[in-house]
């Protein structure tokens, strides 16, 4: 339902107060990451401009944020204070149109790039004014993306040719396979058929990729050569078996399809921070029928040398939440739709994750 902005503004202090518990560390038998909401903003919404099911949140490169919505063909741009400053796109299949967008990214200082489905396209808009500029083909489904000087790095489980991460030059029809899919993602298998979320982070000439629901991460160079492979120990989040395929097949044969997503932790975010350390975010999903919700959100810190981890700091959420995770510098971003006095508002929290007092654990190799 649309939310009246005047009502949302009046509720801001109520909503932020309800989320203040994010700064309270969860009691534990060991010292986990300290998770603290440094500030929260209520995004401006009105009867004409409102969020239904946010899909991604990405810093716009100018202090604000770009938010996609799975339920409507628009991308919204907000200021650092939550004010709506621009909207991009429209419903349809023509230039500057789509039915669903996965992610929006800043593209240089003057443009915004929207990666859409139906059609599969990278659509470029002017940052100021929102004018559509041009559309480039995308070679299928994209889960995560990073902008490079020559184009895009994109992830998603693809089989022809088989790849997890590819490099795409805008304007070309095909993307170059870089990081291979692990064997459990083989075509026709239960893993690749159900789990396409492959978050990654890129810096210099190196990539780090996660493969939900597999327990390990892979580091590779730009040629795809594997440099390292490791696991972050699970302390509070659900454990992932070394081979999840038999478990998935048992549940599929029993007809319990959607409950499969609640068996394993979902890797929903991976980010390299300015100090070289990494944030890894897992969600333990809940529910047996769609739409599933996030029961618990966990954030782990991996040190810059990739020798140890501070695992599973709990990020408090609203009941039956479907949070959207992003990153900004060394901060974790969590976007949630929450209720207050009977109305829904969309709140963005900027969260500090500190591991100074953590009991570090060695990575598994």
User: What is the per-residue pLDDT across 222-269, written as a single tens digit (0 to 9) for each?
Assistant: 999 999 999 999 999 999 888 888 888 888 888 888 888 889 999 999
Contact assessment for residue 323 and residue 195, using Cβ atoms and an 8 Å cutoff: no
d(C-alpha 181, C-alpha 200), whole Å = 13
Among the residue ranges 17-31, 109-123, 157-171, the one predicted with the least confidence is 17-31
The pLDDT confidence band at residue 51, using thresholds 50, 70 and 90, is very high
User: What is the per-residue pLDDT across 187-201, written as a single tens digit (0 to 9) for each?
Assistant: 667 787 788 789 999
And the tokens for 308?
């140890």
Mean pLDDT of the chain: 88
Q: Is the predicted pLDDT of residue 28 greater than 60, yes or no? A: no
pTM of the shown model? 0.90
User: What is the per-residue pLDDT across 258-317, written as a single tens digit (0 to 9) for each?
Assistant: 888 889 999 999 999 999 999 999 999 988 777 789 999 999 999 999 999 999 999 999
d(C-alpha 231, C-alpha 58), whole Å = 26
Contact assessment for residue 287 and residue 257, using Cβ atoms and an 8 Å cutoff: no
d(C-alpha 220, C-alpha 202), whole Å = 10
Q: Is the predicted pLDDT of residue 74 greater than 70, yes or no? A: yes
pLDDT cut 70: percent of the chain above it: 90
pLDDT at 289: 75
Q: Is the predicted pLDDT of residue 1 greater than 70, yes or no? A: no
Domains of the chain: residue spans and CATH: 5-362 (2.120.10.30)
User: What is the per-residue pLDDT across 95-112, written as a single tens digit (0 to 9) for each?
Assistant: 999 999 999 999 999 999
Q: Is the predicted pLDDT of residue 124 greater than 80, yes or no? A: yes
Q: Is the predicted pLDDT of residue 29 greater than 60, yes or no? A: no
The pLDDT confidence band at residue 203, using thresholds 50, 70 and 90, is very high
pLDDT at 188: 66
Contact assessment for residue 67 and residue 54, using Cβ atoms and an 8 Å cutoff: yes
User: What is the per-residue pLDDT across 161-183, written as a single tens digit (0 to 9) for each?
Assistant: 889 999 999 999 899 999 999 98
């Amino acid at each position: 339902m649309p939310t009246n902005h005047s009502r949302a503004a009046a509720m801001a202090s109520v909503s932020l107060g309800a989320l203040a518990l994010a700064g309270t560390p969860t009691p534990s038998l060991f010292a986990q990451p300290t998770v603290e909401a440094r500030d929260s903003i209520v995004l401006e919404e009105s009867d004409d401009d409102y969020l239904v099911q946010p899909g991604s949140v990405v810093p716009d490169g100018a202090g604000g944020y770009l938010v996609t919505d799975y339920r409507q063909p628009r991308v919204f741009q907000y200021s650092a204070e939550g004010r709506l400053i621009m909207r991009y796109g429209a419903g349809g299949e023509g230039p500057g149109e789509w039915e669903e967008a996965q992610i929006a990214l800043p593209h240089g200082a003057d443009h915004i790039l929207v990666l859409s489905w139906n059609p599969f396209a990278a659509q470029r808009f002017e940052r100021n004014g929102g004018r559509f500029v041009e559309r480039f083909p995308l070679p299928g489904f994209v889960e995560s993306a990073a902008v490079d000087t020559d184009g895009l790095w994109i992830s998603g489980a693809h089989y022809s040719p088989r790849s997890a991460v590819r490099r795409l030059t805008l304007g070309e029809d095909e993307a170059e396979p870089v990081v291979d899919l692990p064997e459990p993602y083989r075509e026709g298998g239960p893993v690749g058929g159900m789990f396409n979320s492959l978050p990654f982070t890129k810096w210099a000439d190196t990539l780090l990729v996660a493969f939900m629901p597999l327990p390990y991460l892979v580091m590779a160079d730009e040629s795809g050569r594997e440099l390292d492979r490791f696991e972050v120990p699970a302390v509070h989040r659900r454990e992932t078996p070394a081979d999840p395929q038999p478990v998935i097949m048992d549940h599929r044969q029993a007809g319990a399809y959607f409950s499969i997503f609640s068996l394993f932790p979902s890797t929903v975010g991976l980010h390299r921070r300015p100090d070289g350390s990494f944030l890894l975010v897992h969600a333990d999903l809940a529910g047996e029928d769609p739409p599933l919700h996030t029961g618990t959100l966990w954030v782990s810190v991996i040190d810059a040398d990739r020798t140890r981890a501070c695992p599973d700091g709990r990020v408090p959420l609203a009941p039956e939440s479907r949070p959207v995770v992003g990153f900004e510098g060394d901060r974790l971003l969590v976007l949630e739709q929450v209720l207050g006095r009977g109305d829904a508002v969309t709140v963005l929290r900027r969260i500090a994750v500190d591991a100074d007092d953590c009991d570090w654990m060695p990575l598994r190799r």
